[in-house]
Amino acid sequence: MNTTTPNPWTSPTSLHSPELLRRIDAYWRAANYLSVGQIYLRDNPLLREPLVLEHIKKMLLGHWGTTPGQNFIYAHLNRVIQAYDLDMIYLSGPGHGGPAVVANTYLEGTYSEVYPAVSQDVAGLKKLFTQFSFPGGISSHASPQVPGSIHEGGELGYSLSHAFGAVFDNPDLIAACVVGDGEAETGPLATAWHSNKFLNPITDGAVLPILHLNGYKISNPTVLARITHQELEQLLLGYGWTPIFVEGHNPEPMHEAMAAALDTAIAQIKTSQHQARYGVSTERPRWPMIVLKSPKGWTGPVEIDGLPNEGTFRAHQVPLSVSATAPPGHLAQLEAWLKSYRPQELFDKQGKLIPELAELAPTGNRRMGANPHANGGLLLQGLHLPDYADYAVSVPVPGVTMASDTFVVGQFLRDVVRLNNEPRNFRIFGPDETLSNRLEAVFEATNRQWNADMAENDQFLAPTGSVMEMLSEHQCEGWLEGYLLTGRHGLFNSYEAFVHIVDSMFNQHAKWLKTTLELPWRRTIASLNYLLTSTVWRQDHNGFTHQDPGFMDHVVNKKAGIVRVYLPPDANCLLSVMDHCLRSRHYVNVVVAGKHPAPQWLSMEAARTHCAEGIGIWAWASNDEGTEPDAVMACCGDVPTLETLAAVTILRQHLPELKIRVVNVVDLLKLEQHTEHPHGLTDADYDALFTQDKPVIFAFHGYPWLVHRLTYNRSNNVNMHVHGYREEGTITTAFDMTVLNEMDRFHLAMDVIDRLPQLGNRGAYLKQSLKDKLVEHKHYITTHGEDMPEIRNWAWAL
Amino acid sequence: MNTTTPNPWTSPTSLHSPELLRRIDAYWRAANYLSVGQIYLRDNPLLREPLVLEHIKKMLLGHWGTTPGQNFIYAHLNRVIQAYDLDMIYLSGPGHGGPAVVANTYLEGTYSEVYPAVSQDVAGLKKLFTQFSFPGGISSHASPQVPGSIHEGGELGYSLSHAFGAVFDNPDLIAACVVGDGEAETGPLATAWHSNKFLNPITDGAVLPILHLNGYKISNPTVLARITHQELEQLLLGYGWTPIFVEGHNPEPMHEAMAAALDTAIAQIKTSQHQARYGVSTERPRWPMIVLKSPKGWTGPVEIDGLPNEGTFRAHQVPLSVSATAPPGHLAQLEAWLKSYRPQELFDKQGKLIPELAELAPTGNRRMGANPHANGGLLLQGLHLPDYADYAVSVPVPGVTMASDTFVVGQFLRDVVRLNNEPRNFRIFGPDETLSNRLEAVFEATNRQWNADMAENDQFLAPTGSVMEMLSEHQCEGWLEGYLLTGRHGLFNSYEAFVHIVDSMFNQHAKWLKTTLELPWRRTIASLNYLLTSTVWRQDHNGFTHQDPGFMDHVVNKKAGIVRVYLPPDANCLLSVMDHCLRSRHYVNVVVAGKHPAPQWLSMEAARTHCAEGIGIWAWASNDEGTEPDAVMACCGDVPTLETLAAVTILRQHLPELKIRVVNVVDLLKLEQHTEHPHGLTDADYDALFTQDKPVIFAFHGYPWLVHRLTYNRSNNVNMHVHGYREEGTITTAFDMTVLNEMDRFHLAMDVIDRLPQLGNRGAYLKQSLKDKLVEHKHYITTHGEDMPEIRNWAWAL
């Protein structure tokens, strides 16, 4: 950025006059006081009587280390919000900053608005303190219970990704993101700095990272605090940021430096935005960031029991033990520590922050605790969706038309992009796989957003676009989460195996969704939609390296109210499922679909009905005609459906007397008990499909045990025989992958024969010929390098 | 590093004379020729007859883009290995570099030694080409089948971590690690650069990263290729490396530049090691690295069908389609492309590389394909293990002694460190949680290895030590994998929930283990041992953010031959399990254990017997005395065991006529069928424990459905009632966590009563009093903030 450009945003220094800084210091002391109070006190909240053990909590829990630094940052952000009328949210990256965000949202008034019982008086203070890290109370994180939070922490590493997700398509928003120096060691955070190459200064807002270098993790120093100043500066410059350093210990100069740094940072942000938005520059801006180097546990006890505390790892959690068994001096030391903030100067007789300080906080929705972006459901607008039936594949007879399911849904998604171009509230995220996943139609409507250098032969790259691609599943997931949490819509498309990279991110998001459902003031947000393709059933050149369909297993362990799993068998079903997912709220929807050309089964009308039911008998493929079948052949997923129908063809051709019922499952959780999952079937409905006593040969896309886990307590459990992915694979043909895992048509048909001894010799004869076929297949592929023509050209023939 | 220090390693420039570089270029052409051959040819391998379609594979698969660059690197590394007699291994980070590593190990002779059928002649060449990306053949990665590989790729991001793991405690080894610029966008790779702060230049070897900036991923440009040279240099300097840039397209100057760069890099490495090892410097070295900027698909077709190819994303996979339906000019273009390498100058009449070129490769174990470090089982030495019984907790009666299980095993691990200090082949990895996980005893014997700046109050930090802690589970896992793959031993200790971060890394390692078992020339390596603690059952201040015991669910989907899961109920069992894990080979062992003081159940002798069986009846807690019980109460995990025994106490006290059998499970996979897992029980043995028809109330550490998934086909399945973690939690007491998930003693006892209608009114009366107790409990904790004394002071009382 050319900093000599005339800049309308340069602020007069009077904006941070010594008098103002003195009041900010008082505000900071108030927040620090409330933070220590939360960790220690259950009574006597303003120390209006001498502190005694009865005022102290029995279990002292929580984290002091990061808290005073975050209080410092929050107080200073309040100033610039007021000074420049900023639309700003706050993300607390370092993990256990709960006391700080609770204290600050309480001071600014939002906490009491959301939780009136925690009022701005002595009684409210007592409640505020007691509830912290107390059974049934609030945690040591910026949890969903904290107004203004969209980022809880817990597992570290995602604050910057969430911050970027929040500001995409929010041009007026600034996400102030405190990055912990411990957090900065994680992989996801280490690459998240590069998000600045994906931000558009015109159509997106800005992220202001504040790297909080307080030196220690739990018991180790942090890497970034123990490299040279020069290395740290080079690193951040190399990441494309302009770091502004604020370093020290003494509050007075630190207030001065922080105020100046923030004025500079805001000026740089506004200048870059101004230059981009008025065409002065098309360069990628070098966005500012702040490095705040302050002692861990700043303003806390300098020494405890002869050991240094402030500025060391020992300040990480509760620095000072205070109890009947702790050294007796500790109680007095705690009292002195609390009094060092001079609470009597900060709170009035009723226990409310004095007006001179209260007015330092912004008002209304400008308060970071009240900013509607941080309660995204408030801003959520439904997507404009085209009629998905318009994209239907024509299926005059089942199994003959070939189509790529994801290619078809790509056309629908293209028009979702188009129709929502105006609100700009829909984005597709993926790690450079959108084309490979056959969603290329979306590039008729939009581009991949990219703000690094461009070159002549680049394709579908532009400074602004609705597709976000970085080779980091962590970034894709984190960006999308930030985007959803601020009230927008999106889709993550990924190779099936690699989505395990975000297992633990999904986990945290699912927990966030569950918890926010229990908070009436939190509004529901759009669902997190996964489209998983490039599945385990193709290993043409990838060998046996990473294939794994187990994300479903991971997902179904989460709360039933939150998770949905769909395996549409063809393109028309995928269209119906995708439409449903994009309309849904507050779920995690996992959609597993194929990308290779594959037989199509259902007309649009049939698909609509089938998907609405989620599970059903395919009468056209069955010949039980309303009676009890001899066997049920069930299938879930596109490849299992093809192999099942091929098996049915073989069986009906050779054993026409056999009565087979075909059941197809789109909505996996239909298999679960209705008492366990809202989509679950009752036993009566389940039995009506699967019978009470007939063999069920179930071909499943994923690990077979997942079906067993869902159906273990069904009456027909003992007859359930599931074929699925059994961790077998190598470089081989598409069909041979099913053979290796015994989910192919021949093994399925043989299993039916095995379960029906009444077939006698005719069954045995057919079984032998199927075995011969398998030998012939093996020989053919190793000779020809491809599947036998009769397998490739197979079509539903009945 | 002070480069003016006299350096014994500076090489005369004659080491890379023009004549030598000309031969290296020829060697490179040979490798490129073999790479293109692998992708396209199934016959006519040396083009000794005109190329026709019958010589071309029917399915063209594989990846060309990264291959010529890696061939270039490999050829130049061969030179420095010879020139300086280096002990070097090669890691191929960019993913699909299979053709390059196969070609090079073939040229150096190791491939034919391992696979004699792929001989160094025309017939062998034909096999080499045909097998690539062919059904049953080899994949497009540096897969386990490739000699010299310890890093397959597949999912990207772990090459640098593996490289560092390989050189820890291998002072003479250099791991040359090609980092893809796509790979460099992943989080794990982005933080792996910081591994240099954890390397000791005296006791560890060196990593030489070669960032291969070839510009494109699948269809997008890469971030690092599209920032300014200055930014890239700052970034790498900021990471603490000294980058040496080699940029260009024209082979001749590129050979010159690469040779010079490698001479400089090797000299810097050797100088740093010399200075450190002879006490000249105690500074953290600034290790060298190379940035190789070369076109994607270098030397491939410049243009195909009018579109630029070399140097664009279009060169990523198979650049030129050649088939009966492809444009007819393509066949001739392929022939011209192949002939551009002038194979007739490179291979003799028999089809063998000419001696003038063959001698460029190192010989014997200096060949990177033959380096024993890359087949770590060759170098593996068993650990010296103390007698774990020496660390036993005295348990005169069950349930009275309190101990922290992990604290106890920490003492055993301390002495494992001590006893193996001489071979230096055991390390403990963890993300700053070793102390928190109560393994502090290990710090009596060693330190955390740290080579960044130190400060006065640091604890257990030293330039060398056996504990590796970085706040990145990815690094811990990647380092440990690299350490194990090169023939050493280790343990990863992690909070239970955060181990999901490495789900997909575990997945790839498990697949590697499975595949290597099928390769007779690959030797078995030490097991990958996880110690998971800080489990889901404590949420004192963490709220409901990330807790998840589902890593077990993920693990058990992998091949039964590879995975083991242990949940020792107390310290003595944990000692026995840990000893077993450290002796085992080629498994992934997951051990879940508690860290908080908890009741101890078994004497060392009893623990030894119990763990050897893996599952068993606790007769001392049961009163069925050899007869059929009324109910079985089973437990797996420390907290479930405590709650089960508390429930048994209640039931036996109030309903003494009730016959209860207590079954404890240490080895989770005992529950599975013996046909599915080698540890699995036969149905007869299973029924002998769990009965065929009595209710089983099973308290499980993890998600209850995992037990159902393992036991769905047992005869007594219908009576199996599993209590476990059901995704309920908040800030609360230890006991209340079990209440929220209905796994507490009261719910367990009530469930027994519910399953035994014969208990009639007496059961109903007890049930009501247990319900009352739960109400009393809730009231108590919200008033007192801690559990009722009778719960805290509970002891086994029968």
Domain residue ranges of chain A, discontinuous segments joined by +: 13-376, 388-598, 615-792
Three-point CA angle A377, A382, A384, nearest 5°:
160
Count contacts between A and B (CB, < 8 Å): 407
A-contacting residues of B 91-110, CB under 8 Å?
A: 96
Looking at residue B15, its pLDDT comes to 67
Residues 294-323 of B with CB under 8 A from A: 308, 312-314
Which parts of chain B have pLDDT scores under 70?
1-15, 795-798
CATH number of the domain at B614-792, out of 1.20.1200.10, 3.40.50.300, 3.40.50.920, 3.30.479.30? 3.40.50.920
Q: Is A709 in Cβ contact with B186 (below 8 Å)? A: no
* CB proximity B732 to A under 8 Å: yes
Q: Does A692 touch chain B (CB under 8 A)?
A: no
Name the residue type at position A322: V
CATH of the domain spanning B13-375: 3.40.50.970
**DSSP 8-state secondary structure symbol assigned to residue A351:** S
Cβ-defined contact of A472 to B500 (cutoff 8 Å): no
Of A141-150, A705-714, A787-796, B589-598, which range is least confident? A787-796
CA angle A226, A229, A235 (to 5 degrees): 90
Q: Do domains A388-598 and A615-792 have the same CATH topology?
A: yes
Look up residue B463 and give its DSSP letter. S
The answer to whether the CB atoms of B475 and A542 lie below 8 A apart is: no
Taking contacts as CB-CB distances below 8 angstroms, the residues of chain B near A222 are: 471
Q: With CB atoms and an 8 Å threshold, state whether A190 touches B190.
A: yes
Interface of A with B in 483-522 (CB under 8 A): 497-498, 500-501, 503-504, 507-508, 511, 514-515
A134, A57 contact by CB (below 8 A): yes
Cβ A133–B183 below 8 Å, yes or no? no
- Smallest CA-to-CA distance from B489 within B424, B549, B550 is with B424
DSSP-derived letter for residue B199 is -
**B558 in contact with A at a CB cutoff of 8 Å?**
yes
| Spatial distance between the Cα atoms of A458 and B296, rounded to a whole number of angstroms | 14
Query: How close B657 gets to chain A, by Cα (Å)?
Result: 30
- Say yes or no for a CB contact (<8 Å) between A135 and B781: yes
Residue A328 CB partners (closer than 8 Å, separation 6+): none
What pLDDT does A539 receive?
Answer: 83
Mutation to test the A interface, candidates B195, B435, B545, most A Cβ within 10 Å: B545
Interface of A with B in 518-547 (CB under 8 A): 540-547
- Looking at chain A, the whole-number percentage of residues with pLDDT higher than 70 is 98
Task: Give which of B546, B547, B551, B710 to mutate to test A binding, by max A Cβ within 10 Å.
Answer: B546
Nearest to A259 by CA among A22, A91, A29, A442: A22
**Which whole number is the average pLDDT over A552-575?**
97
The answer as to CATH 3.30.200.20 being correct for domain A13-376 is: no
Mutate: best of B454, B731, B739, B777, partner A, most A CBs <10 A: B731
pLDDT-based confidence at residue A797 (cuts at 50, 70, 90) = low
A-chain CB neighbours of B157 within 8 Å are 187
Interchain contact, B545 vs A474, CB within 8 Å: no
Hey, are the CB atoms on A550 and B557 less than 8 Å from each other? yes
CB contact under 8 A, A709 and B709: yes
What tens digit of pLDDT does each residue of A177-194 get? 999 999 999 999 999 999
- Report the gap between the CA of B639 and the closest CA in chain A (Å): 19
Question: In the predicted model, what is the mean pLDDT of residues A581-595?
Answer: 98
Distance from CA of B77 to the nearest CA of A (A): 26
Give the bridge partners for A723, in sequence order: A699
Q: Do A156 and B471 touch (CB under 8 A)?
A: yes
Residue A9: pLDDT over 90: no
Residue from B538, B548, B466 nearest B499 by CA: B548
User: What separation, in Å, do the N-terminal and C-terminal C-alpha atoms of chain B show?
Assistant: 69
Q: What does the pLDDT read at residue B14?
A: 56
CATH code, B388-538+549-598: 3.40.50.970
- Give contacts of B448 with chain A, Cβ < 8 Å: 220
Asked if B141 lies within 8 A of A545 by C-beta distance, the reply is: yes
Collect all residues of chain B within an 8 Å Cβ-Cβ radius of residue A307. 457
Residues in B closer than 8 angstroms to A504, CB to CB, are 497-498, 500-501, 503, 546, 548
| Average pLDDT in chain A | 95
Among candidates A59, A470, A511 on the partner chain, residue whose Cβ is nearest the Cβ of B185: A470
**Residue contact A727–B786, C-beta within 8 A:** no
**Burial letters for A674-705: b for 16+ Cβ neighbours within 10 Å, e otherwise?**
eeebebbbebeebeebbbeebbbbbbbbbbbb
Residues 172-231 of chain A whose Cβ lies under 8 A from any Cβ of chain B:
182-183, 185-192, 194, 197, 215, 217-223, 226-228, 231
A763 Cβ under 8 Å from any chain B Cβ = no
The first and second tokens of residue B559, run together, are 């091949």
CA distance A181 to chain B (A): 10
Fold of A615-792: Rossmann fold (3.40.50)
Q: Are the Cβ atoms of B235 and A233 closer than 8 angstroms?
A: no
Q: What pLDDT, on a 0 to 100 scale, did the predictor assign at position A95? A: 80
**CB-based contact (8 Å) between B240 and chain A?**
yes
Mutation pick from B1, B183, B186 vs chain A, by most beta carbons of A within 10 Å, is: B186
Whether A377 has a pLDDT exceeding 60, the answer reads yes
Rounded Cα gap, residues A9 and B648, in angstroms: 72
Complex ipTM: 0.96
Using pLDDT thresholds of 50, 70 and 90, give the confidence band for residue A12: very low
- Which of B182, B559, B717 is nearest residue A717 as measured by Cβ atoms? B717
B chain contacts of residue A188, beta-carbon cutoff 8 Å: 187
Note the pLDDT of residue B687.
97
What residues of chain A lie within 8 A of the CB of B468, using their CB?
Answer: none
Q: pLDDT of A35-84, one tens digit each?
A: 999 999 999 999 999 999 999 998 898 899 999 999 999 999 999 999 99
Please report the residues numbered 12 through 51 in chain B whose beta carbons come closer than 8 angstroms to any beta carbon of chain A: 42
pLDDT for B2: 38
Beta strands in B168-301, from DSSP E residues, in sequence order: 173-180, 206-213, 242-247, 288-293
- Residue A157, SS3 per DSSP: coil
**Partner B contacted by A770 (CB < 8 A):** no
Residues of A in contact with B235 (CB under 8 A): 234-235, 237-239
CB A545 within 8 A of CB A533: no
Q: Least CB-CB distance to B136: which of A141, A706, A730?
A: A730
Mean pLDDT of A312-322: 93
Residue in the structure block whose two tokens are 């972006």: A373
- Residues 105-144 of chain A with CB under 8 A from chain B are 133-141, 143
Reduced to 3 states (helix: H, G, I; strand: E, B; else coil), residue B319 is coil
CB-based contact B220 A432, cutoff 8 Å = yes
State the nearest Cα–Cα gap between A442 and chain B, in angstroms. 15
**Using CA atoms, how far apart are residues B477 and B463, in angstroms rounded to an integer?**
21
Residues B787 and B733 sit within 8 Å (Cβ to Cβ): yes
* CATH, domain A388-598, list 3.30.70.2860, 3.40.50.800, 3.40.50.720, 3.40.50.970: 3.40.50.970
No. of helices (H) and no. of strands (E), chain A: 25, 22
HEC letters along B763-774 = HHHHHHHHHHHH
Is residue A794 very low, low, confident or very high in pLDDT (cuts 50, 70, 90)?
confident
What's the pLDDT at B16?
76
Q: Which residue has the higher pLDDT, A286 or B16?
A: A286
